[in-house]
Structure 1
Amino acid sequence: WLVRPTLRFVIRSNGPWDVRPKILKYRRSGVIDSLKFYFKGKSLYISICAGHLVTEQSSNPSCSVSPYPPTPIPPNPGTKMAAPTTFSGEAWAELRLADARDVPHIHSLIHQMAEFELLTDLFAATHELLASTLFPTPQPAPFTSFTALILDLSPSPASASADTVGSRRLDLSASSPLADPEAAAFPSPRGGGRVTAGFVICFPNYSTFLAKPGLYVEDIFVRAPWRRRGLGRMMLSAVAGRAAEIGMGRVEWCVLDWNQNAIDFYEGMGAEVFKQWRICRLTGAALDKYKGTGTGSQEEEDAGGKAQ
């Protein structure tokens, strides 16, 4: 099939993952300038914003094409993009503790990550929920509860503060100026010309085998213009270093099995990827049905029929 600019469509398939590698093939080759796609149930929704795509029909005989549903509301409706901000020569990266002023950017970054991972159908976070759960009053000490970290980029050196978890200098002189088309939408609340480029969210867990607390990294994300510049390594290294300094036994996180670039990156940092483990999750209605089950008596359970 042939897809022209601005055409939107949805692929409905019992196995939509067999379509994704073909889409990525043309995206990486430059045939597609910009697209957004995500899953809802067993449907792969694709919106091509520019360029064109020519590819073969999926080998899955149940695959068909139908009109695309309404575009999801963006996380910050009404934001107007200004001309790209360019960085040249040097830039300074700072990983710092976030505060409530960072919530709008955290929300937008999580949405971008959901788009990249094709999981926007699961995205339900709001500014209010993020603020109340990440920044309660009183707020626990960093790394003892939910901890959000922000990656800021600055055109000039930023003095370290008590909130600084990691920092590094970027040498951009060997390449053409770096254009950040989203810079106007991500001004750091710390000012000084800083731009927010990524975030980390982590929280403590516990290893019974080690009899030590550990740290679980829920999210680590860098916006597209700033990738492949060592910032992901800097962020994860800073988090791992802080965990080691406070006596934690390990740092853990998850990676999607199709994201081979990320898998290679993590293994290159010394992480072990456990292919024999699977994630088990109760959420939504599946979780809600267990409300109150810990307070009933055996007689009540027997009266209700056989336990499931």
Structure 2
Amino acid sequence: MSSSAAAVYAELRLADERDVPHIRRLSHQMAEFEHLTELFSATESLLSSTLFPTPPPPPFLSFTVLILELSPTPLPPSADAGFPISRRIDLAAPLDDPEADAFASPRGGGKAVAGFVLCFPNYSTFLAKPGLYVEAIFVRAAWRRKGLGKMMLSAVAAQATRMGMGRVEWFVLDWNQNAINFYEGMGAEVMPQWRICRLAGAALEAYKGGDEKDGEESK
């Protein structure tokens, strides 16, 4: 999609199974950006079965993906509450998107997928309230620094408040100072005293039998 005028129209909507190919492509681009492609093993089949089970759970009560699409023509107004959310994005100059054809919307209409956000509920024992954890938020390179990341994260925060939740959380890589500055500018507190702990791969499989792993042989 090449914007002939210096404006595009952004829409943030709930994803469905038709979006899986783009979700995988965006996730792989995110892994490339974060220099973590060696950890990437997602397939379309796995994404379909885990993100879009049958019957589907209500949005934001399980894994929820929001897709960000851009249109060269105006979109219907936003819903009173919830999704889709639409807005006009004014550009300093017309912008060419070399990946537009590869990311053409499965819904047609000349729209292109520009990003996504994936979140799911968590819980704070300190607050005694549920919250939303943002597992992934990503905007394709051509469309960064246009306010689209803020649009997506703000939408998740608004949904959390509508549901009476206590907080929204996510992580940021310590070398990504641009992202840190962006999140702090939105009012987020970056908490350097916390560290992510992870069991995965062989370390996780070692617990498959359910035995405790305390470093000592059973007696």
Q: Sort the TM-score into its range (normalised by shorter chain).
A: over 0.9
Q: What TM-score comes out, normalization by structure 2 length?
A: 0.93
Residue of structure 2 equivalent to 1:70: none
Structure 2: gaps spanning 5 or more residues: none
The answer to whether the Cα contact below 8 Å between 2:6 and 2:93 also exists between their aligned partners in 1 is no
2:182 pairs, out of 265, 269, 274, with: 265
1:178 Cα deviation after fit: 0.4
1:165 Cα deviation after fit: 4.0
Q: Calculate percent identity across the aligned residue pairs.
A: 69
Q: Which amino acid aligns with 1:171?
A: D
2:67 pairs, out of 134, 150, 154, with: 150
Q: Matches of 2:84 and 2:75 in 1, distance apart?
A: 13
Matched, 1:284 2:201: yes
| Greater RCO, CA 8 A, separation 6+ | 2
Residue of structure 2 equivalent to 1:169: 88
Q: Matches of 1:269 and 1:148 in 2, distance apart?
A: 21
Q: 1:71-110, aligned counterparts within 5 Å?
A: 85-87=1-3, 88-110=5-27
Matched, 1:195 2:107: no
Q: Which amino acid aligns with 2:86?
A: S
1:186 pairs, out of 98, 103, 127, with: 103
Q: Matches of 2:185 and 2:85 in 1, distance apart?
A: 20
Structure 1: gaps spanning 5 or more residues: 1-84
The answer to whether the Cα contact below 8 Å between 2:69 and 2:113 also exists between their aligned partners in 1 is yes
Residue of structure 2 equivalent to 1:42: none
Q: Matches of 1:151 and 1:203 in 2, distance apart?
A: 17
Matched, 1:252 2:180: no
Q: Matches of 1:271 and 1:163 in 2, distance apart?
A: 22
Q: Matches of 1:291 and 1:176 in 2, distance apart?
A: 55
Q: Matches of 1:181 and 1:163 in 2, distance apart?
A: 31
1:179 Cα deviation after fit: 0.4
Q: CA 1:250/1:165 → structure 2, altered by over 3 Å: closer, same or farther?
A: farther
How many residues are treated as equivalent by the alignment? 214
Q: Deviations over 1:6-27 (max 9, x none)?
A: xxxxxxxxxxxxxxxxxxxxxx
Q: Matches of 2:195 and 2:37 in 1, distance apart?
A: 22
Q: Matches of 1:211 and 1:154 in 2, distance apart?
A: 41
1:168 Cα deviation after fit: 1.4
The answer to whether the Cα contact below 8 Å between 2:6 and 2:95 also exists between their aligned partners in 1 is no
Q: What TM-score comes out, normalization by structure 1 length?
A: 0.67
Structure 2 counterpart SS, 1:177: coil
Residue of structure 2 equivalent to 1:133: 50
Larger Rg: 1
Q: Matches of 1:232 and 1:202 in 2, distance apart?
A: 14
Q: Matches of 2:168 and 2:189 in 1, distance apart?
A: 11
The answer to whether the Cα contact below 8 Å between 2:115 and 2:137 also exists between their aligned partners in 1 is yes
Structure 2 counterpart SS, 1:275: coil
Structure 2 counterpart SS, 1:244: helix
